[in-house]
Amino acid sequence: MQNQTVSILGCGWLGLPLAKALVKEGFIVKGSTTAEEHVEKLRSERIEPYLITLMPELEGEDAADFLQSDTLIINFPPERRADIAEYHIQQFSSLIDALQLSPVRTVLMVSSTSVYPMLNREVTEDDTDSGSAGSAAGEALLLVEEMLMQERSFQTTVVRFCGLVGYDRSPANYLGRMVEIAEPAQPMNLIHRDDCIKIISEIIRLGQWGEVFNACSPSHPFRIDYYSKAAEAAGIELPPVSEGEEPSPFKIISSSKLVGALNYQFLHPDPLTSLS
């Protein structure tokens, strides 16, 4: 780890605290932002700041220097647009071209469990099929995951996080905007930001490259239980509950592979407990 350099492409809600955690662990950390006003914030946290964009070409005066690292963490979601798959492929094609000219040998891609359709059962890393992802964004992610995994100039590990919660991402923030609690009996797939950061750190520490991992808390509360507990904790009224008669489609994300490979113990295994 001594003098090992990690570049994080996307220092937002997850990327910035991740960068700060890696700095504390002794890494040299380079962080990218698309906003000039965030540069000084990164620098104040001992993160080397870079202004980098992918629109869809990789642009930035110091983009080549940003990629002078041992490991690249890719942490930006597909944009919301009609041509989402095509555009995301163009972004990653440009990024891969630059990576091929860099010393980066290991890449960690932050992906999403939106790659899985609602199969009404537990799903594992093998339950993906091109054309049947859970959303257009999920389909775009599947395509670029494959692009990275097929590249031979570096090794890639993909981490598919489920719904990100913690800190300012509290369900209480959404309750006031809800007309009703839809699909109350649907199990939820959630993971706390603290666990996201620890999981990424452990993958790097253990050298778990060339893998695809799901990352989701092992407890899957029903929507009604989760939002009822959130409303109680926040002291606000719970919206009406939908009376739909049809069973809700669902998926339960399994993190068994990750737990086994990393010998991982979740910091926040139960989303309900985190609401207290």
Identify the weakest region by mean pLDDT among 93-102, 175-184, 218-227. Answer: 175-184
Counting Cα atoms < 13 Å in the Cβ hemisphere of 33 gives 18
Task: Name the DSSP letter for residue 218.
Answer: S
Query: What pLDDT does 245 receive?
Result: 65
Hunting for tokens 């009376």 — which residue is that? 243
To which H or E segment does residue 148 belong? helix 136-150
Residue 132 — very low, low, confident or very high, per pLDDT cuts 50/70/90?
confident
Domain that holds residue 58: 5-166+191-218+251-267
61-89 pLDDT, tens digit per residue, is 899 999 999 999 999 999 989 999 999 99
For 34-97, the DSSP string reads S-GGGHHHHHHTT-EEEE-EESSSEE-TTHHHHT-SSEEEE--PPPSSTTHHHHHHHHHHHHHH
- Look at 245 and 167; give whichever has higher pLDDT: 167
Q: Does 102 map to a domain?
A: yes
* Residue 232 belongs to a domain: no
- pTM recorded for the entire structure: 0.96
pLDDT class for 133, splitting at 50, 70, 90? confident
Write the secondary structure of 102-113 as one string of H (helix), E (strand) and C (coil): CCCCEEEEEEEH
Count up the domains in the chain and report the number: 1
| Residue 206 falls inside a structural domain | yes
Note whether residue 120 is domain-resident: yes
Using alpha carbons only, what angle is made at residue 8 by residues 6 and 13, rounded to the nearest 5 degrees? 135
Is residue 142 a part of any domain in this protein? yes
Is 180 part of any domain?
no
Q: Is 60 exceeded by the pLDDT of residue 45? A: yes
The answer on pLDDT for 162 being more than 90 is yes
Mean pLDDT of 265-274: 95
Residue 58 lies in a domain: yes
Q: What is the CATH number of the domain that holds 88?
A: 3.40.50.720
Location of structure tokens 């990393």? 262
Distance CA(187)–CA(250), nearest Å, equals 7
Q: Which of 181, 160, 161 is nearest to 226 (CA)?
A: 181
Residue 65 lies in a domain: yes
Nearest to 212 by CA among 122, 139, 108: 108
